[in-house]
Homo-oligomer: A and B are copies of this chain.
Amino acid sequence: MTEAVSRPTLEAVAARAGVSRATVSRVVNGGDGVREPLVERVRRAVEELGYVPNQAARSLVTRRHDAVAVVIAEPETRVFADPFFALQLRGISKELTAHDSQLVLLLTEGPEDYARVGRYLAGGHVDGALVFSLHLDDPLPGLIRGAGVPTVFGGRPGWGDGSRGDGPTVYVDSDNRGGARDAVRHLVGLGRTRVAHITGPLDQTSAVDRLDGFRDVMVDTDPRLIVEGDFTPAGGERAMRVLLDRCPEVDAVFAANDLSASGALRVLRERGRRVPEDVAVVGFDDMLPVAESAEPPLTTVRQDIEEMGRLMARLLLRGLDRRGRDEDADPGPGKGLGGAPSSVVLPTTLIRRASA
């Protein structure tokens, strides 16, 4: 059997280069304070032996792991019936890679898993955590903050953006409310007067925010024009039927996501309403396979998902960095980006297609 050849150690490199372990270590970690000829010799030895530092040994003494946990609560993965998930991870991965950090993925299967995640995070295996949990009543965020691990949340957590215990909650979200406003304003700009809203499940902050955005524009709207959906096509169909029954003269619909919009579209077609002539429809997410291949292609609100991921990682890493520095040196004012990282809300863009 191909026995794994025991990998070379610092010691071996040192011997080969004719220097001490300490010097090799210095070179491997940047090479400051080592004279050029030696650096060169060590580099060559490293090369020749194919030396790769043993991360376990390093972590043992530095207490850093160059690893970040990404926690995704199970209920979300159902919602991620689109590239959302993949894109977010991609953004995160890119940023982490650029900082030589690893991505440890923690997926939970319901609350019974939360303890495991909590233990893992508290166990000090990672330097920080990126957490997705967008439900108002989810205990996960609290639990994680309890673990005392630097954390950045994806999406505004349920308890708002206030502080909770130690330090402010840092999150990255897209501007759901603003995006919703844009969508509704677009419909209004089209001359539509009976604008309805199919919401998402209102235990999710994104759904709530989009509803708020809708209300911002349609201030005194007939409450019967707001129907709760659940981010699924089936929910969109149900909601659209309700809407049509309650209020046949509806001439525009803002659906809280593309999936429900596609359901709404189907019902409208079934009932003989032309889109956009009779009823204009706008979705949210710009979930491509759905939005582009809808009939007609969907006007929708796009969010830069990959950028969200990248930003989350950047915020976390910056925080870790800061934390590291703070220990020995006063940060000093005016470092430019010096302050504690704070939440970021990313802008959205209205993508005009045929449906509105």
Contacts and interface: CB of A to CB of B under 8 A. Distances in A.
B86 A124 contact: no
Interface string A236-276: 00000000000000000000000100110010010000000
- Copies of this protein in the assembly total 2
Interface string A116-146: 1001101111000000000000000000000
A54 B124 contact: yes
A203 interface: no
Given A57-B60, A103-B104, A289-B289, A2 B77 contact: no
Interface stretch (A154-162, A206-214, A290-298): A290-298
A319 B4 CA distance: 15
B326 A125 contact: no
Contact size class for A?
35 or more
A293 B262 contact: yes
Contacts of A295: 266, 269, 295
B52 A60 contact: no
A304 interface: no
A200 interface: no
29 contacts: A1-B326, A2-B166, A4-B148, A52-B122, A52-B124, A54-B60, A55-B56, A57-B60, A80-B83, A81-B83, A81-B288, A81-B289, A82-B289, A89-B105, A90-B107, A97-B107, A97-B113, A102-B104, A102-B120, A102-B125, A103-B104, A103-B105, A103-B106, A233-B292, A262-B289, A266-B293, A266-B295, A287-B289, A289-B290
Interface of A: 1-2, 4-5, 7, 50, 52-57, 59-60, 65, 67, 70, 77, 80-83, 85-86, 89-90, 93-94, 97, 102-107, 109, 113, 116, 119-120, 122-125, 148, 166-167, 233, 259, 262-263, 266, 269, 287-290, 292-293, 295, 323, 326
